[in-house]
Structure 1
């Protein structure tokens, strides 16, 4: 899965962004579990998921600040 694009994140509603963060956190948990058990094949996905979460949270904060 490719990293999320900024334009796509900005086009999401607040609820969609929250859902995306939740899904990414669940995926990250599962990936960490797979790594611990030696089943993880794509180790770079852990990093991508972490960065996607940060990207979504950053854009959400920027949009909130813009509304004020």
Structure 2
């Protein structure tokens, strides 16, 4: 895990549930846009799709932990 990733996790874990849900919605919209760009051959770097999927997974994990009271 790189420094950037660990900083992102710290930043996300400090947020409350409502803010995380907003971030999740933003990330899903971004993923939709990247997929649309890929379908129309406008996306130059396909690694962006992988990165946003990982970010969505992190947010979902933190949301689940917060809702269960683990964090």
Q: Larger relative contact order (C-alpha < 8 A, sep ≥ 6)?
A: 1
Hey, what's the Cα distance between the residues in 1 that align with 2:46 and 2:34? Answer: 8
What pairs up with 1:29-44 in 2 under 5 angstroms? 29-44=32-47
- Which structure 2 segments of 5+ residues have no match? none
Deviates more, 1:6-15 or 1:58-67: 58-67
Q: Kindly state the Cα deviation for residue 47 of structure 1 after the two structures are TM-superposed.
A: 0.6
Aligned residues: 66
What pairs up with 1:1-68 in 2 under 5 angstroms? 5-66=8-69
Hey, what's the Cα distance between the residues in 1 that align with 2:15 and 2:54? Answer: 17
Q: Kindly state the Cα deviation for residue 66 of structure 1 after the two structures are TM-superposed.
A: 2.2
Moved beyond 2 Å, runs of 4+: none
C-alpha RMSD of matched pairs (Å): 1.7
TM-score by length of 1: 0.85
* Conserved 8 A contact 2:24-2:56: yes
